[in-house]
A and B are shown apart, each in its own frame.
Chain A
Amino acid sequence: MTLVLMLTIFVLAIFIGFEIITKVPPTLHTPLMSGSNAISGITLVGAVISAGQHATALATIFGFIAVVMATINVVGGYLVTHRMLGMFRKKD
């Protein structure tokens, strides 16, 4: 994929981000933070590739560390967000 294409995606995604996130009410700012934090754990995809391809021993070791860190970020982030949002449910 060419660099230009990637830059296009990057810029457009930032604009989408600005558009939707400005609509998030202050009440949900903490869950927004922890939820978007979990999304930034998407590095897990890169970590899986680095660790899994076994290009060099070093790459595998680095990949392993990255997989552990990114998984903590992803799993922890989504769980904690889910816990918080559960409390925002309207009480009947």
Chain B
Amino acid sequence: MTPYASTVTLAAGDLPAWAMIAYLVAAVLFILGIKGLTHPRTAVRGNLMSAVGMLIAVAVTLPSVMGGLGWGVVIAGMVVGGAIGTIAATRVQMTAMPQMVAIFNGFGGGASIFVAWAELSSFKKVIAKAHEIFNEQGQLDIATTYTLDQIATIKQNAIDAGVLTFNNGLAEIGTIPLPVLIATALAGLIGSVTFSGSFIAFGKLQEFKVFWNPWVLPAHQLLNALLFVVAVGCTVLVIAYPDAAFWWYLPLVIVALVMGVTLTCPIGGADMPVVIALLNSYSGLAAAATGFVINNTVLIIAGSLVGASGIILTVIMCKAMNRSLVNVIFGKIDASKSTSSDDIYEGRIKATSADEIAMMLDGVQRVVIVPGYGMAVAQAQHPVRDPFNELEARAGNGGFAVHPVAGRMPGHMNVLLAEVDIPYEKLIESDNINPHLDTVDMAIVLGANDVVNPDARKPDSAIAGMPIVDVDKCRTVVVIKRSLSPGFAGIPNPLFALDNALMFFGDGRKTIEDLVTAVKEN
């Protein structure tokens, strides 16, 4: 294959029929793979099916570039990326999973930026070549530098790319087709926001010191609006000036990268599940847009599946907080309305000890544990397994009440508890466990705060309407917490001051370990 033989995009239309069918098989495997994720029993197989689909899609693409000058580049890139991905994925701690997903997501978006840009570069080149050969007043002697085969290939590529048409037998060389330009601009825009946004999300989840407080610049919303206008302007320029699209793409990417930062920075820790889900959706949409750029069905299908998945998770997370997406991204919780914590807590807080809880546990039948982000921070999921198993052996009808936004990403608590072999049927959604909580003898709140705040039922509260785990209905509530400091919402929690509430102050891991010892000695 000569260097120019594959000058233009090897659009899907250029691939042999078997390759197109292989793409279809890959797309079906992706769908079946996600379908497998609808049950823990079939999930492992589902993920493997999806991976096989990916393998097929990549494998049938490779022969089209095999042996060319870029062949070594492709292999080198895959080796480097594969090594980094493998090391990262096998070393990461389960508690660091949200960061890991954020960073992988960012790389997906980044790839879209560069593929779209590379395509603009290729288009530029094929248009120039086509001009050189066909448009110089029929001076075919220029063809001396090309073989006839090469001319035929360039011609065909230019036709396939939509830049060469024939009118009354005369060749007319146009420019990059409009749909391609739009898709390229979108891939760059969405890919860039995903890339920088994901890295900021990573930094926040990793709790780098610079991100301890959400960054809010003066006139932050105005800045966002301004950046958006500039980004749209650059998009219009890419589309309006196809010949210079390759250059207008650069400011577009830069502005979009800045926008990813300014959009993600002000968002607080509690809203991270929404941000991660949204960025996940963006990375899918960027992939789909890239599919439109290079005319590739499997990119479009896979990208839109991911786009849909991210949007659904985003909506679920927002509903679990009773907030709109706009409010999560642009708004902030107004904690000023709430009563001061002193008024609520004064003289009403009862501290307890491991021994006291151990004694109470002796007489109880049904215990429910409500985990929160504090459990992840303290790595308390490991010591919590033993007391849980013991309670299970005794009464057998307890469980973990898992709130959808507990933790830093959708399903975060479930993963941590699965890691320590808690059977998944013992992890109960808050909606399902709430009606039964009045029959529960003891609720142990482990590192959760806002998701058990009964103030959410009051219409004038900052978190009004947010679905919560109704632990205050249990006979006794033990809250394991370092101090009375507020949760992410920044408001005091009247639960701590209730008559049936006991505070067990301390680090999540240490307190549970003490509790285990106390139960054994009891």
Interface bin, chain B:
35 or more
Q: Are B54 and A49 in contact (CB under 8 A)?
A: no
- Interfacial chain B residues near A18, Cβ < 8 Å: 308, 312
On chain B, the residues within 8 Å of A27 by CB distance are 40, 402, 411, 414, 418, 424, 427
Q: How far is the CA of A78 from the CA of B37 in the complex (A)?
A: 13
A10 in contact with B78 (CB, 8 Å): no
Asked if A36 and B70 sit within 8 Å, CB to CB, the answer is no
Interface size class on chain A is 35 or more
Indicate with 1 or 0, residue by residue over B303-330, a CB within 8 angstroms of chain A CB atoms.
1111111101100100000000000000
- Identify which of residues 9-24 in chain A touch chain B, using a CB-to-CB cut-off of 8 Å: 9-11, 13-18, 20-24
- B31's partner among A11, A20, A31 (CB-CB below 8 A) is A20
Does B9 make an interface contact (CB < 8 A)? Answer: yes
Interface positions of A from 69 to 88, Cβ below 8 Å from B:
69-88
CB distance from A81 to the nearest CB of B (A): 5
Asked whether A52 and B108 contact (CB < 8 A) given A3-B179, A9-B297, A73-B85, the answer is no
Given contacts A21-B308, A33-B313, contact A59 B122 (CB under 8 A): yes
Contact with B along A42-72 (1 / 0, CB 8 A): 1111111111111110111011111111111
How far is it, in angstroms, between the C-alpha of A76 and the C-alpha of B404 when the chains are bound? 25
The answer for the CA separation of A63 and B122 in the assembled complex, in Å, is 11
Cβ of B263 within 8 Å of any chain A Cβ, yes or no, is no
Of listed B31, B304, B410, residue having the most chain A CB within 10 A: B304
Taking the closest CB of chain A, its distance from the CB of B291, in whole angstroms, is 7
Contact of B39 with A by CB under 8 A: yes
With A17-B305, A39-B50 in contact, do A60 and B84 touch (Cβ < 8 Å)? no
- Specify which chain B residues have a CB less than 8 angstroms from the CB of A59 in the assembled complex: 118-119, 121-122, 125
Cα distance A47–B294 in the bound complex, in angstroms: 10
- Choose one: B89, B309, B313; the contact of A75 (CB below 8 Å): B89
Does residue B488 face the partner (Cβ distance < 8 Å to A)? no
Complex alpha-carbon distance, A42 and B285, angstroms: 11
Contact of B486 with A by CB under 8 A? no
Give the dominant DSSP class at A's interface: helix
**Contact in complex: A78, B308 (CB < 8 Å):** no
Which residues on the B side are within 8 Å of A68 (C-beta)? 77, 80-81, 84
Contact A53 B111 (CB under 8 A): no
In the complex, how many angstroms separate the beta carbon of B463 from the nearest chain A beta carbon?
20
Instruction: For B71, list chain A residues within 8 Å (CB).
Output: 52
Pick out which of these stretches binds chain A: B61-69, B133-141, B506-514.
Answer: B61-69
B101 partner residues in chain A, CB cutoff 8 A: 30, 33-34, 37, 80
A23 to chain B, nearest CB (A): 5
**B6 beta carbon closer than 8 Å to chain A:** yes
Cβ of A75 and Cβ of B121 under 8 Å apart? Answer: no
B359 interface residue per 8 A CB criterion: no
Chain B minimum-CB-distance residue to A8: B300
What's the least CB distance linking B416 to chain A, in Å? 9
A40 and B423 contacting across the interface, CB-CB below 8 Å: no
Contact among B46, B295, B414 with A6 in the assembled complex (CB-CB below 8 Å): B295
Specify which chain B residues have a CB less than 8 angstroms from the CB of A46 in the assembled complex: 111-112, 115, 290-291, 293-294, 296, 299
Q: Tell me the complex Cα distance, A66–B74, Å.
A: 10
Q: Is the CB of A86 within 8 A of B298?
A: no
Considering the chains assembled together, what is the distance between the CA atoms of A24 and B40 in angstroms? 10
Is the C-beta of B117 less than 8 angstroms from some C-beta in chain A? yes
**Are B47 and A81 in contact, with the CB atoms below 8 A?**
yes
Min CB distance A27 to B, Å, is: 5
- Specify the chain B residue showing the minimal Cβ separation from A89: B44
Q: Are A49 and B81 in contact (CB under 8 A)?
A: no
Question: B308 near A56 (CB under 8 angstroms)?
Answer: no
Check if A29 sits within 8 Å of B69, measured CB to CB.
no
Contact B410 A30 (CB under 8 A): yes
Q: Is the CB of B122 within 8 A of A38?
A: no
The interface-forming segment of B215-223, B236-244, B276-284, B495-503 is B276-284
Q: Within the complex, what minimum Cβ distance (angstroms) separates A1 from chain B?
A: 5
Q: Known contacts being A27-B414, A45-B61, is A56 close to B124, with CB within 8 Å?
A: yes
Chain B residue nearest to A34 (CB atoms) is B101
Contact, CB under 8 Å: B312 / A22? yes
Q: How far is the CB of A63 from chain B (nearest CB, A)?
A: 5
Which listed residue (B39, B89, B283, B304) contacts A80, Cβ 8 A?
B89
Q: Considering residues A42, A54, A87, which has the most beta carbons from chain B within 10 angstroms of its beta carbon?
A: A42
A42 to B293, CA, bound (A): 14
CA distance A79 to B276 in the complex (A): 19
B345 is an interface residue with CB less than 8 A from chain A: no
Question: Contacts A27-B411, A53-B10 given: A20-B47 contact, CB under 8 Å?
Answer: no
Distance of A18 Cα from B8 Cα, bound (Å): 35
* B69 lies within 8 A of A54 (CB): yes
Q: How far is the CA of A64 from the CA of B100 in the complex (A)?
A: 22
The smallest beta-carbon distance between B119 and chain A, in angstroms, is 6
Instruction: Tell me the smallest distance from the CB of A67 to a CB of chain B, in Å.
Output: 3
> Contact: A52 with B70, CB < 8 Å?
yes
Q: Please state if A41 and B34 are interface contacts (CB–CB under 8 Å).
A: no
A48 touches B297 (CB 8 A): no
Query: Which chain A residue lies CB-closest to B182?
Result: A3
With the chains together, A74 CA to B73 CA distance in Å?
A: 18
- Verify if B33 is at the interface (C-beta below 8 Å from A): yes
Stretch at the interface among B90-98, B362-370, B444-452: B90-98
Q: Can you list 6 A-B contacts (CB < 8 A)?
A: A21-B308, A49-B10, A50-B119, A72-B81, A80-B97, A82-B47
A-side interface residues toward B, CB under 8 Å? 1, 3, 6, 9-11, 13-18, 20-56, 58-60, 62-91
State the 4 A-B residue pairs at the shortest beta-carbon distance, nearest first: A52-B65, A71-B81, A17-B308, A67-B77
